[in-house]
Amino acid sequence: MNATIDLYNIIELINKLISKTDRSEVKWEATSRTNQFLLKMNSGAFIIEKNTYLTSRDKPFYSFKILNEIGDEIERVEQTLPSSFGKDKDLSTLEKLDKLLYELYFLAETNVQKPINDSLKKILNELDTFSNSK
């Protein structure tokens, strides 16, 4: 993580995004990259991503990026790896951040799939209606 934003501010931001995503107040978009979701705003954007290729662990690795209004990355937070825990780091805060990144990814993935599933149901219903009317 860059030194520009305090870790506690990032946690607060992610908590707000989780809350708004859970209540469907924001809509995430799938990107051209597998396992990556984007939330656009006028003042910038957020990207949440699940990677399996960055680590040899059995668990996926999550990253969260904050972009400014022209798309430049201004902050990146990544899940911590056990080897990155140092004596100078607050383990409980890092563990909380890891859980929040996982939760945000899961909600973004669910949030973006709902419209796709709803559209697919409408298409299937229309096809059923079409075939029944002939």
What are 61-99's pLDDT values in tens digits?
899 999 999 999 999 988 765 544 455 556 677 788 889
Tell how far CA 113 is from the center of its chain.
Answer: 13
Q: What is the pLDDT along the chain (134 residues), one digit of tens a residue?
A: 444 467 889 999 999 999 999 999 999 999 988 899 999 999 999 999 998 765 555 677 899 999 999 999 999 988 765 544 455 556 677 788 889 999 999 999 988 866 666 677 778 778 888 766 55
Residue 2 burial class via C-beta count within 10 angstroms: exposed 0-12, middle 13-18, buried 19 and up: exposed
